A and B are shown apart, each in its own frame.
Chain A
Amino acid sequence: SQTIHQWPATLVQPVGSPLSLECTVEGTSNPNLYWYRQAAGRGLQLLFYSVGIGQISSEVPQNLSASRPQDRQFILSSKKLLLSDSGFYLCAWSGWLGQETQYFGPGTRLLVL
């Protein structure tokens, strides 16, 4: 069966520091991968999605970036964090063709101080 991992689970970072969040999927090949952000009391906002290695699409302009160095690895990064980057970050995967359901990881809580 497929599983999706995210780490770290919780992160507290000062403003201006770099960020690296990692997501990995097991038990499937060629997944579509997604990064979402959920601010406190709000819904989910899609940040990035990837349909293959090195293929990244951005949904909103921001100081975050994403990379997919391996088929089942998705990384969310920032060179300099802002206060507004605080939130809950969720990674999700879906099948590459005809498997429309997205399955989510446990998430990372990020607090920027």
Chain B
Amino acid sequence: AQTVTQSQPEMSVQEAETVTLSCTYDTSESDYYLFWYKQPPSRQMILVIRQEAYKQQNATENRFSVNFQKAAKSFSLKISDSQLGDAAMYFCAYRSAVNYGGSQGNLIFGKGTKLSVKP
């Protein structure tokens, strides 16, 4: 079974600085997707960025970028020019690209990293 591990329960960053959140995963599959979701105090899960395992190029969305190391099974999120609105729980998630009996590949989440942004 696949697992996702976020080893940093909490992180803190100064406004305008850069912070990197870590995520590692375990899988025997070669084709899959990886995601970072943000959960602000409102608790709605918001997609931040996604990465297809078959792509070597790291995904980027404005101030958010990932460092995807497939061999090391590592998927870290870098937030540049941190803003107060970035303060939230961040979840790393894995999804198989294989369709298991109609499941369409369910998401497997890490336990999250709470990011605080200091003004």
Interface residues on A, range: 20 to 34
| Prevailing SS type, chain B contact patch | loop
**Residue among A38, A102, A104 with max Cβ neighbours from chain B (10 Å):** A102
Which one, B42, B50, B110, contacts A101 given CB within 8 A? B50
Q: Interface of chain A, helix or strand or loop or mixed?
A: strand
B-side contacts of A96, CB under 8 Å: 104
How many inter-chain residue pairs (CB < 8 Å) link A and B? 58
Of residues 20 to 65 in B, which have CB atoms within 8 Å of A's CB atoms?
A: 33, 35, 37, 42-47, 50
Partner of B44, one of A32, A46, A94, A107: A107
Q: Are A100 and B33 in contact (CB under 8 A)?
A: yes
Q: Check if A100 sits within 8 Å of B105, measured CB to CB.
A: yes
B→A interface (CB under 8 Å): 33, 35, 37, 42-47, 50, 91, 95, 97, 101-107, 109-112
